[in-house]
Amino acid sequence: MAKQKFIVVGAGPVGSLAALYAANRGHKVKIYELRSDLRDPSTTPLNFTKSINLALSERGINAMRHAGSKALLDHVMMSTIPMSGRMIHGQRPSGELYEEPQLYDVHGRDIYAADRAELNKALLDILEKMPNVKFYFNHKLTGADFKRKVAWFEVQNSEKSSSKSSAGRAKEVEVSFDFMLGADGAHSSVRYHLMKYTQMDYQQEYIDTLWCEFQISPNRRRKSEHPMERFLISPYHLHIWPGKQFMFIAIPSEDGSFTCTLFMPSANYAYLEADTSKLPAFFDHHFPGVTSLIPPKELIASFETNPHLPLISIKCKPYHHSDSVVILGDAAHAMVPFYGQGMNAGLEDVRTLFALLDKHEATEESNDPTNPAPADPSVQRSAAPAEYSAVRAPDAHAINDLALQNYVEMRDSVLSPTYRLRKALEEW
Ligand code: FAD
């Protein structure tokens, strides 16, 4: 295949992995990112809008395994923590607190707690060393013509911007491309422009749940050097305090802390926002035991300081137009986080897309009379993006549905008698 000009919009985990797949195939890759480089210490930390750590599973690991860079997986996995199951926290009628581990996999396979920013940085570090990759930070996609294969970016006013603009005024640049990969997240601009070129079915839903982050600090009381003693609760589990209508979860981090998330309907947020002093009692009632891990003052401070963010679920199809553009990751299928698969599914999009590009390239190049390439070159070139839409959309829609269903499982069913009976029968 002739080496092409790829542009990737969005340098999140999915866009960065897509850039690596393209660059490893020898294409010329330009990555355009709205924000500044997240490795720059002066950049606003990602956790203002994104969860600090997340669950990495085989779906995502496999996509990194096939990226053509052993260093990537080695680096990412080195700083992950295996989680063999979930740990359900509750309180018996007697008032006694209990913890109940529930394995994720009968064969003992784990999922991994990973730092989202570290994973992203590992990808950017590898890409930066590749001669055929160029970054354009502080560049916001504002328009695209997918027939002429031209896109427009507004250069954000930043001293660190690669294209200097006069103070205070945004400059626009025009860029031509052969193939655009849109990985610009749930509110994707690429998807918005793609809608004008294809008959896209589109559905979005905000669920009535907001999320806010908290932190369980590392254990500073014990003097022991044993790494396990840094953690106040088991580091090998994803911890859940199910509250029927709400849920509080905790995921371990390497430094002994846990990133925790409170998922709760907006009305409950409003109730607590009106008087944050009620928060510790609310936690003691619904998430017993948490206030002994997060002191009430810290609990209130996090609730007051950290944003209370919505959760969106998006389904659309197709994911491509002709041979000029595809969307991947949250841009194609933002999902609620309860199945821990949003990023994992996005990374899998990349592996699927490039497997199809490779397959169709092989068909074009083989002169196999039993499997001829289409005569029309534009049909030939769009075969892989079309197949990507056809195979990927149904899978992504299914994962979106599972993610929505798993909220009920996590916040309620894990405690129900039916769940316990089913589990007992399965184990029997
Ligand atoms: P993003 O990470 O959103 O990256 C998009 C990038 O595009 C951003 O850098 C943005 O600045 C840039 N951009 C946006 N607009 C433009 C523009 N116009 N021009 C140029 N650039 C632009 N997933 C899991 O797999 N496991 C989990 O455990 C998990 N937990 C989660 C917990 C919470 C609370 C939440 C909210 C999400 C969770 N997710 C999880 C989902 C995961 O965070 C996302 O699926 C993942 O970040 C999507 O990656 P992405 O690269 O597609 O998009």
Q: Is the CB–ligand 1 distance for residue 383 below 6 Å?
A: no
Nearest ligand 1 atom to the CA of 13 is 51
Q: Which pLDDT does position 312 carry in this prediction?
A: 97
Nearest ligand 1 atom to the CA of 57 is 25
Give 45 Cα–ligand 1 centroid separation in angstroms. 14
From 181, 343, 410, mutation site for ligand 1 pocket: most ligand atoms within 8 A of C-beta? 343
Nearest ligand 1 atom to the CA of 188 is 15
Residue nearest to atom 41 of ligand 1 (CA): 342
Q: Is the CB–ligand 1 distance for residue 33 below 6 Å?
A: yes
Q: Is the CB–ligand 1 distance for residue 32 below 6 Å?
A: yes
97-106, 201-210, 233-242, 297-306: least confidently modelled range: 97-106
Q: Is the CB–ligand 1 distance for residue 340 below 6 Å?
A: yes
Q: Which pLDDT does position 320 carry in this prediction?
A: 98
Place domain 84-111+206-310 in its CATH homologous superfamily: FAD/NAD(P)-binding domain (3.50.50.60)
- Model confidence at 183: pLDDT above 70: yes
Nearest ligand 1 atom to the CA of 50 is 36
Give 250 Cα–ligand 1 centroid separation in angstroms. 20
Rounded mean pLDDT, 279-293? 97
Q: Whole-structure pTM over 0.90, yes or no?
A: yes
Just give the CATH number of 5-81+114-204+313-411: 3.50.50.60
**Could you tell me the pLDDT band of residue 373, with boundaries at 50, 70 and 90?**
low
Q: Is the CB–ligand 1 distance for residue 185 below 6 Å?
A: yes
Give 427 Cα–ligand 1 centroid separation in angstroms. 37
ipTM: 0.99
Q: Is the CB–ligand 1 distance for residue 348 below 6 Å?
A: no
**Could you tell me the pLDDT band of residue 160, with boundaries at 50, 70 and 90?**
very low
- Model confidence at 205: pLDDT above 50: yes
- Model confidence at 357: pLDDT above 70: yes
Give 330 Cα–ligand 1 centroid separation in angstroms. 6
Give 356 Cα–ligand 1 centroid separation in angstroms. 24
Domains 5-81+114-204+313-411 and 84-111+206-310 share a fold: yes
Q: Is the CB–ligand 1 distance for residue 53 below 6 Å?
A: no
- Of 29-43, 316-330, 395-409, highest mean pLDDT: 316-330
Q: Is the CB–ligand 1 distance for residue 261 below 6 Å?
A: yes
- Model confidence at 49: pLDDT above 60: no
Residue nearest to atom 2 of ligand 1 (CA): 12
Q: Where are the domains of the chain?
A: 5-81+114-204+313-411, 84-111+206-310
Give 374 Cα–ligand 1 centroid separation in angstroms. 37
Q: Is the CB–ligand 1 distance for residue 332 below 6 Å?
A: no
* Strands ordered across the beta sheet of 171-176: 139-145, 150-155, 171-176
Nearest ligand 1 atom to the CA of 328 is 52
Nearest ligand 1 atom to the CA of 54 is 28
Q: Is the CB–ligand 1 distance for residue 349 below 6 Å?
A: no
Q: Is the CB–ligand 1 distance for residue 209 below 6 Å?
A: no
